[in-house]
Structure 1
Amino acid sequence: MIEQCATGVEWPQALCTVCVKVLPVDAAGLVVRGEERSQDTVTVSDGWSQAIEELQYSLGEGPAAEARLGGDPVLVADVEAERGRWPWFAAASAEAGLGAMFAFPLHIGGIRLGALNLYRRRPGGLSADALADAVLLADLAALALLESELADDHEKLRMEVSYQDVHLATGLLAAGLAIGLEEAFVRLRAHAFAERRTLLAVSRDVLERRIPVDRLAN
Structure 2
Amino acid sequence: MQQLLRDLARVVLADRTLEEVLGEITALASRGIPGAEATSITLLRDDKAFTAAYDGEMALAADELQYERGHGPCMDAGRGGVVLRIDDMNTEQRWPEYVSHVRTNTPVRGSLSVPLPYQGSTIGALNVYSSRPAAFAPPESLAAGLEVAETIAVAVANADAHWRLGEQTRNMRLAMDSRAVIEQAKGVLMAQRHVDAEQAFEVLREASQRYNRKLRDIAQGIVDGTQENRGR
**Which segment is superposed worse, 61-70 or 90-99?**
61-70
Alignment equivalent of 2:99, drawn from 90, 101, 125? 90
- 1:3 pairs with 2:5: no
- Quote the Cα distance in structure 1 between the aligned partners of 2:49 and 2:160: 15
Partner of 1:81: 91
Following TM superposition, by how much is the alpha carbon of 1:18 offset from its aligned partner in structure 2, in angstroms? 1.0
Instruction: Check whether the contact 1:12–1:42 (CA below 8 A) recurs between aligned residues.
Output: yes
Q: What is the distance in 1 between the residues matched to 2:99 and 2:27?
A: 26
Contact 1:63 1:103 in 2 (8 A): yes
For the structure 1 residues 123 and 6, does the alpha-carbon distance in structure 2 shift closer, same or farther, using more than 3 Å as the test?
farther
Where in structure 2 are the equivalents of 1:80-159 lying within 5 Å? Answer: 80-82=90-92, 84-95=93-104, 96-124=106-134, 125-152=136-163
The runs of 4+ residues in structure 1 deviating greater than 6 Å are none
Would you say 1:29 and 2:40 are equivalent positions?
A: yes
| Post-superposition offset of 1:65 | 1.8
SS of 2:36's partner is coil
**How far apart are the structure 1 equivalents of 2:64 and 2:22?**
18
Q: Deviations over 1:113-163 (max 9, x none)?
A: 22111011111133222221111111111111122122228xxxxxxxxxx
**Runs of 5+ unmatched residues, structure 2:** 1-6, 165-232
* Deviation string, structure 1 residues 40-62 (Cα, Å, up to 9, x no partner): 32211022211111101001221
- Which has the larger Rg? 2
Distance 1:72 1:6, change over 3 A: farther
Q: Name the CA distance, whole Å, in 2 between partners of 1:122 and 1:34.
A: 31
Tell me the alpha carbon deviations over residues 17-55 of structure 1, each in whole angstroms, 9 at most, x when there is no partner.
Answer: 11111122110001221233x223221102221111110
Q: Secondary structure at the match of 1:151?
A: helix
Residue correspondence of structure 1 range 192-203 to structure 2 within 5 A: none
2:11 alignment partner, SS class: helix
Residues matched between the structures, number: 151
Alpha-carbon spacing, 1:13–1:91, altered in 2? closer, same or farther (3 Å): same
Q: CA deviation at 1:69?
A: 2.3
Query: How far 1:13 moved relative to its partner?
Result: 1.4
Q: TM-score, normalised by structure 1?
A: 0.64
Computed over aligned residues only, the root mean square deviation of the Cα atoms, in angstroms, reads 1.8
Alignment partner, residue 183 of structure 2: none
Which structure has more RCO (C-alpha within 8 Å, separation ≥ 6)? 1
* Matched position secondary structure for 1:81: coil
Which has the larger displacement, 135-144 or 103-112?
103-112
TM-score by length of 2: 0.60
Post-superposition CA distance 1:162-211 (Å, at most 9, x none): xxxxxxxxxxxxxxxxxxxxxxxxxxxxxxxxxxxxxxxxxxxxxxxxxx
- The amino acid across from 2:163 in the alignment is D
**Structure 1 position 66, deviation (Å):** 1.6
Question: Out of 44, 49, 54, which is 2:54 matched to?
Answer: 44
| CA distance in structure 2 between the partners assigned to 1:142 and 1:81 by the alignment | 32
Cα deviation, residue 80, structure 1: 2.8
CA contact (8 A) 1:13 1:45 kept: yes
Gap runs ≥5 in structure 1: 154-218
